[in-house]
Structure 1
Amino acid sequence: MEGIFTYLGAIFGHGQMLFISHMILVAGIVLFVAKIATKSLRAVPGGTQNVMESYLGGVISMGTDVLGEENARKYLPLIATLGLFIFTSNMLGIIPGFESPTSNINITLTLAMIVFFYYNYEGIRKNGVIHYFAHFAGPVKLLAPLMFPIEIISHLSRIVSLSFRLFGSIRGDDMFLWVLLMLTPWIVPLAPFFLLTVMGVLQTFVFMILTFVYLAGAVAIDESHEKAPNPIADTMGEV
């Protein structure tokens, strides 16, 4: 944020280099933690390895409820990496003198685009181009001309939803924290620090679970169609 002191801003100045330097810092922290966790793997984990294994187990458990365990493990590298990057970014912004990379729309939009292109790629790879885009028309062929453009708009809106939800929440948190620190002594904002931490964790969880949901909708087309009601078939069955 322009005009607000940050340690990296004092070195690189404000502007594009400010959020790039914070992004590199977050990437370095994530890589450092991963290196420490895998430096000496043990059968009975402890310390950083234990924390990371618990985190990965939680991600798999989250994905199992949406995609099944096999697919949850398949997409674990993507979801876990996104989670670590977003969580570290969110927490960095809570520390006075630093700015969260996820408070910049360029970062959140990039993350949303990665998710958008990846889940569409996976859907096309598994189901084929024709079958994948055919499900955009819905189960009722008569409504296909109406449903197809609605589905296209719906999928494109996911980019906006993912990026602006994360950006708006973290940007607002950062501004709230800076105003609070300017108005009160540092010891007073302890309770708000806790709330900002909870919000950072929540936004990370929301981004991860939505990515799982989008992947499920792309790769599990047949299952979703089997569960979807078909008014024509139901009517014929009654006759």
Structure 2
Amino acid sequence: MNLWKLPTIAIAPEVIIPGTWITNTLLCTWICAICLFVVFFIGTRRRNMVPAGLQNALEWVVEFLQNLVEGVAGKERGKRFFPLVATFFIFILFCNLLDVIPGVDTIGTVHLDEQHANAVVNGPLLWGDLSNQIVPWLRPGTTDLNLTLAMALVSVVVTQILGFSMLGFKEQISKYLNFKAVKEKGGMGLVDFLVGVLEIISELGRLISFSFRLFGNVFAGSVLLAVFAYLLPAVANIIFVPFELFVAVIQAFVFAFLTLLFMQVGTTSHSHHDEGEHEVHHEYEGSAVPSH
């Protein structure tokens, strides 16, 4: 008999309270939201002129994100983009970091399958054939495709709302349904119309790429920790926990930064690009020296 078995790997979240819709990923998401509220409440309740401790750390994070957003989008647009980008980064980072906390994915309720239905569980620790019969109470929210897909949907929808708000309905809709180009340019305008259709497809594809990228990387990291904790318990803590911390930060940054870039592109007029190209063309023609 083995000392313990590899944990059961399930992609779908498990219901931890029978008869309800409360899953282990949902509970972990609630805990993450509460922790964020407590951290920011404690860190900002006094607001000293010379920050120290937690207030100093929070101000550094906010300032870093603000400089990043304004460096990409400028101060005017940065003020509108910053709340969503910063929220995504901080929330996803907290959710990812929960994966390395002891007890997450390892403490839960024992649900015996048919093969071990008559087995007797003695004590809080499981070993042998029963070691993989546990349903964890806590599992990082970002290992649930429902959450990552919901955040991707928020990113795409908010980008479109900002596009309609900042560019106007006519300019924004012309990015996707450019009938004017077909009327003015004829056959060449058809190419612009097809490019707009491809833009619609890319917007839908962004939902898949956003959600599956974050879910896949965090879920794979969670499985990696579980497998190597089984094979090499001591070595796994030394090597893979720091690696998972790095991945947690990178994945949060990638999701937030890509959201920022898409918001910047989504609120930029196509006519602005065309005007810029015409200006460059005229400047080139004016500065060109005739050849002899």
Which of 66, 69, 74 in structure 2 is aligned with 1:63? Answer: 69
Q: Matched residue of 2:258: which SS?
A: helix
Q: Is the 8 A contact 1:137 1:143 kept in 2?
A: no
1:126 matched residue in structure 2: 166
The CA distance in 2 between the partners of 1:164 and 1:17, in whole Å, is 20
Q: Counterpart in 1 of 2:205?
A: 157
Matched, 1:74 2:80: yes
The CA distance in 1 between the partners of 2:209 and 2:86, in whole Å, is 20
Cα distance in structure 1, aligned partners of 2:153 and 2:37: 22
Aligned to 1:101: 141
Q: How many residues in Structure 1 have an aligned counterpart in Structure 2?
A: 229
* Alpha-carbon contact 1:102-1:108 (below 8 Å) kept: yes
What TM-score do you get using the length of structure 2 for normalisation?
A: 0.71
Kept in 1, the 8 Å contact 2:17–2:23? The answer is yes
SS at match of 1:45: coil
Cα offsets for 1:104-152 (capped at 9, x unmatched): 1001001101111001001011111221121336887341231121111
Structure 1 segments unaligned to the other structure (5+ residues): none
Letter in 1 for 2:25: F
Distance 2:53 2:85 in 1: 22
- Given that 2:225 and 2:236 are in contact with CA atoms closer than 8 Å, whether structure 1 keeps it comes out as no
Give the one of 151, 156, 161 matched to 1:116.
156
After superposing the two structures, state which structure 1 stretch, 79-88 or 163-172, moved more. 79-88
SS in 2 for 1:200: helix
- What corresponds to 2:256 in structure 1? 208
Q: In terms of Rg, which structure is larger? A: 2
Q: In the alignment, does 2:226 pair up with 1:178?
A: yes
Q: Compute the TM-score of the two structures, normalised by the length of structure 1.
A: 0.86
Greater shift in the superposed pair: 86-95 or 56-65: 56-65
Partner of 1:54: 60
- The answer to whether structure 1 residue 22 and structure 2 residue 28 are counterparts is yes
C-alpha RMSD over aligned residues? 2.7
- Structure whose residues are more often helix by fraction: 1
Q: Taking structure 1 as reference, are residues 59 and 223 closer, same or farther at Cα in structure 2, changes over 3 Å only?
A: farther
Q: Name 2:130's counterpart in structure 1.
A: none
Q: Percent identity over the alignment?
A: 26
In structure 2, the gaps of 5 or more residues are: 1-6, 105-138, 182-187, 287-292
Partner residue of 2:191 out of 125, 143, 166: 143
Conserved? CA contact 2:15–2:23, under 8 Å: no
Q: Distance in 2 between matches of 1:110 and 1:10?
A: 19
Q: Is 1:162–1:207's contact at 8 Å kept on the other side of the alignment?
A: yes
